[in-house]
Amino acid sequence: MRVVVIGGSGHIGTYLIPRLIGAGHEVINVSRGQREPYTPHGAWQRVTTVVADRTAEEADGGFGQRIADLDGDVVIDLICFTEDSAKALADALAGRVRHFLHCGTIWVHGPSVQVPTTEDVKRAPFGEYGVRKAAIEAHLLERAHREGFPATIVHPGHITGPGWVPVNPAGNVNPEVFQQLAEGSEVALPNLGMETVQHVHADDVARLFMDALASPSTSIGESFHSVATTALTLRGYAEAVAGWFGRDARLSFLPWEEWRATVSEFDGRITYDHLLHSPHCSMEKAERLLGHRPRHTSLEAVSEAVERLVRDGVITP
Mind spelling out the 3-state secondary structure of 122-165? CCCCCHHHHHHHHHHHHHHHHHHHHHCCCEEEEEECEEECCCCC
What kind of architecture, by CATH, is found in domain 162-198+230-279+296-311?
Alpha-Beta Complex (3.90)
Give the contacts of 134 (CB within 8 A, at least 6 positions apart): 108, 123, 125
% of the chain residues with pLDDT over 70:
99
pLDDT at 37: 80
Tell me how far CA of residue 188 lies from CA of 68, 70, 181, 242, in angstroms.
51, 51, 11, 14
pLDDT at 32: 86
d(CA 27, CA 1): 8
* Mean pLDDT taken over the chain: 96
Statement: residue 263 has pLDDT above 70: yes
d(CA 228, CA 265): 29
Statement: residue 40 has pLDDT above 80: no
CA atoms lying within 13 Å on the CB side of residue 304: 17
Rounded average pLDDT over 285-312 = 98
pLDDT digits (tens, 9 = 90+) for 63-84: 999 999 999 999 999 999 999 9
Domain with CATH 3.90.25 in the chain: 162-198+230-279+296-311
Q: How confident is the model at residue 34 (pLDDT cuts 50, 70, 90)?
A: low
pLDDT at 269: 98
d(CA 295, CA 163): 19
pLDDT at 39: 78
Statement: residue 33 has pLDDT above 90: no
Contact 270, 171 (CB under 8 A): yes
pLDDT at 36: 74
Rounded average pLDDT over 273-281 = 98
Q: In a 10 Å sphere around its CB, with 0-12 CB exposed, 13-18 middle and 19+ buried, how is residue 128 labelled?
A: exposed
Rounded average pLDDT over 106-117 = 95
Domain with CATH 3.40.50.720 in the chain: 2-159+199-226
d(CA 301, CA 164): 12
Whether the full predicted model's pTM is greater than 0.85, yes or no, is yes
Contact 101, 212 (CB under 8 A): yes
pLDDT at 289: 98
pLDDT at 52: 92
Give the contacts of 81 (CB within 8 A, at least 6 positions apart): 129, 132, 133, 136
d(CA 275, CA 241): 19
Statement: residue 35 has pLDDT above 80: no
pLDDT at 174: 98
Closest-CA residue to 56 (of 69, 71, 66): 66
Rounded average pLDDT over 3-31 = 96
d(CA 260, CA 279): 21
d(CA 13, CA 159): 12
Statement: residue 59 has pLDDT above 70: yes
Contact 168, 174 (CB under 8 A): yes
Closest-CA residue to 1 (of 27, 28, 25, 19): 25
- Whether CATH 3.40.50.1360 fits 2-159+199-226: no
Q: Whole-angstrom distance between the N-terminal and C-terminal Cα of the chain? A: 47
